[in-house]
Structure 1
Amino acid sequence: MPPSPLTASSPYRLLAEQALSRAAGAPLLGGNAVELLIDAEANYTAWLQAIKQARHSVLLENYIIRDDDVGRRFRDALVDRARDGVLVAVICDWMGCLGQSRAAFWKPLRDAGGEVRVFNPPQLGQSFGWISRDHRKTLVVDGQHGFLSGVCISAQWLGDADRGVPPWRDTGVALQGPAVGELAAAFADSWRQVGPPLPELAQEQSVPAIAGDIALRVIATHPSTAGMYRLDQLIAAMARRTLWLTDAYFVGMAPYVQALVSAARDGVDVRLLVPGSSDIPAVGSLSRSGYRPLLKAGIRVFEWNGSMLHAKTAVADGQWARVARPISTSPVGWAIAKSTWPWKMPASPASSPRSTNATWRTPPKSCWRRAAGGAAKRCRAARPAAASAQGRRQLRPHRCRCAAHCQHRRCRAQRSPRAG
Structure 2
Amino acid sequence: MAEQASVTVADLDALAARLVEVESYLHLEEKRGRVEELERQSAAPGFWDDAEAARALMAELARDRDDIKAVEAAREGIADARAALELAEEMDGDEELMCEAASTVAALTREIDDMELSSWFTGKYDHGGAIVTIKPGQGGLEAQDWTFMLFKMYMKYCARRGWKVTINDCPAAEVIGIDRATFTVEGKDAFGMLRAEAGVHRLVRISPTDAKKRRQTTFAGVEVIPVLPDDIDIEIAPDDIRVDVYHASGPGGQGVNTTDSAVRVTHLPTGIVVTCQNERSQIQNKAACMQILKARLYELELQKRADELDEIRGPKHDIGFGNQIRSYVLYPYQMVKDLRCGVETGNVDAVLEEGDLDPFIVGYHRWATGNADYTPDEEDLAD
The normalised TM-score by structure 1 is 0.23
**The structure with more helix, counted as a fraction of residues:** 2
The normalised TM-score by structure 2 is 0.24
**The structure with more strand, counted as a fraction of residues:** 1
